[in-house]
Structure 1
Amino acid sequence: MKKITLSLAALALTSTPLLAADYVIDSKGAHASINFKIQHLGYSWLTGRFNNFDGEFSYDADKPEASSITVNIDPASIDSNHAERDKHLRSDDFLHVDKFKSAKFVSTKVQADDDGSLNLHGDLTLHGVTKPVVIEVEKVGEGQDPWGGYRVGFEGETTIALKDFGIDYDLGPASTHVELELHIEGVRQ
């Protein structure tokens, strides 16, 4: 009788679906990035990134719609590879980092598409304004890392209008929107 009970208990444990795992974004190991690009006068692209951010997410490959993510961004860490331009981007013409010391994305819903991609809905707070955005996301991969941990990575894109976030500095008609490109690798906790 004990063998049957133990066997049933073992079967029940092995057939129980795994719950979502929690991950920390590996920004310290530089395995994640938040990049942006915006048209410069319609002639070229200005590109850059935010160097300081952190966050965590929950993910279950069998039920991706139950996933969630929170990302905290230091807008003062903006880096367009040009010191004078970065100083201007930190000013009250753009990010006004003296007044708005943080930016944040908090997911509200995840929709899985038939092709395996995800639509990540959430609230982006930037320049003191919170607006809903949708980020198109694809999983890059997941598995064991060489150090005994487990990782999963995603990439995503979205476009935001500067005026939606109270940034109304006139950069010309070709420069009203910013494209955000996200590369996120998380380490399972």
Structure 2
Amino acid sequence: MSTMNTLSELTGDYVLDPTRTRIGFVARHAMASSVRGQFDEHEGSAHLDGEEPSKSSVRLSIRARSIQTRNRRRDAHLCDTFLDVDQYPALFFTSTAVRQLADTVFRVTGDLTIRGVTKPVAVDFELTVAENDPQGGYRVGFKGSVTINRNDWGVNGNAASRILVSPKMVLEFDVAAIRRT
């Protein structure tokens, strides 16, 4: 991590930097490989409280149709069969609690909504960057991941895909945010 001296310097309201943020996933495929992808369109905000991290909060919205796996046919299948993007155009995450686990590690607990189903998840994030940027703003970066069972959210696909793709998947977050002035 660079240039931050104390967590109190983080305090403020932030907006997600979509050009420097990656929200991805990895699912195991029965053919001894993994399917990797990401969502290219998302927005979010956060309030960080460096003095009392428990007063921090996060909100994230992901456009479901922006899914990319570098295979158009698979992307269309994921949009239609798995995510039903016409009926459920977005995935949402809203934090319910933030707890500091170590100097720069935080557990963010919240509600994840996929296909209209909301379930609690807890993601451990590591603060990777906190610094002034060349444009005069203040940026933070966090990395984290969580393993979920997609069946808990009704992301089941068809019979063949239920057999070929593991229900366990890893959601990966490499987040950059800019403090609002």
TM-score with structure 1 setting the length: 0.85
Q: Where does structure 1 lack aligned partners over 5 or more consecutive residues? A: 1-16
Question: Does the residue aligned with 1:181 lie in a helix, a strand or coil?
Answer: strand
Among 66, 69, 76, the residue aligned to 2:55: 66
Aligned pair partner of 1:79 in 68, 71, 82:
68
Matched residue type, 1:101: P
Q: Whose relative contact order is higher, 1 or 2, with alpha carbons under 8 Å and at least 6 apart?
A: 2
CA distance in 1, matches of 2:164, 2:69: 21
Match of 2:137 in 1: 149
In structure 1, C-alpha distance between the alignment counterparts of 2:107 and 2:10, rounded to whole Å: 21
* Residues 1:139 and 1:42: Cα distance change in structure 2 (over 3 Å): farther
Q: Assess if the C-alpha contact under 8 Å between 2:128 and 2:142 holds in 1.
A: yes
CA contact (8 A) 2:29 2:164 kept: no
For 1:46, the equivalent position in structure 2 comes to 35
In 2, the alpha carbon distance for the partners of 1:173 and 1:84 equals: 16
Q: Deviations over 1:53-94 (max 9, x none)?
A: 001001123322221110011001000000000000011x20
Unaligned runs of 5+ in 2: 1-7
CA RMSD of superposed structures (Å): 1.7
| C-alpha separation in 2, matches of 1:123 and 1:25 | 18
Matched positions, count: 170
- After superposition, the Cα gap between the structure-2 partners of 1:100 and 1:158, relative to the gap in structure 1 and judged at 3 Å, is same
Q: Determine what percentage of the aligned residue pairs are the same residue.
A: 36
**Aligned-partner SS, 2:124:** strand
Structure 1 runs (4+) greater than 6 angstroms displaced: none
Mapped to 1, the partners of 2:10 and 2:167 lie a distance apart of: 42
Q: If each structure's strand is expressed as a fraction of its own residues, which one has the higher value?
A: 2
Secondary structure in structure 1 of the residue aligned to 2:74:
helix
| Distance in 1 between residues matched to 2:145 and 2:87, nearest whole Å | 27
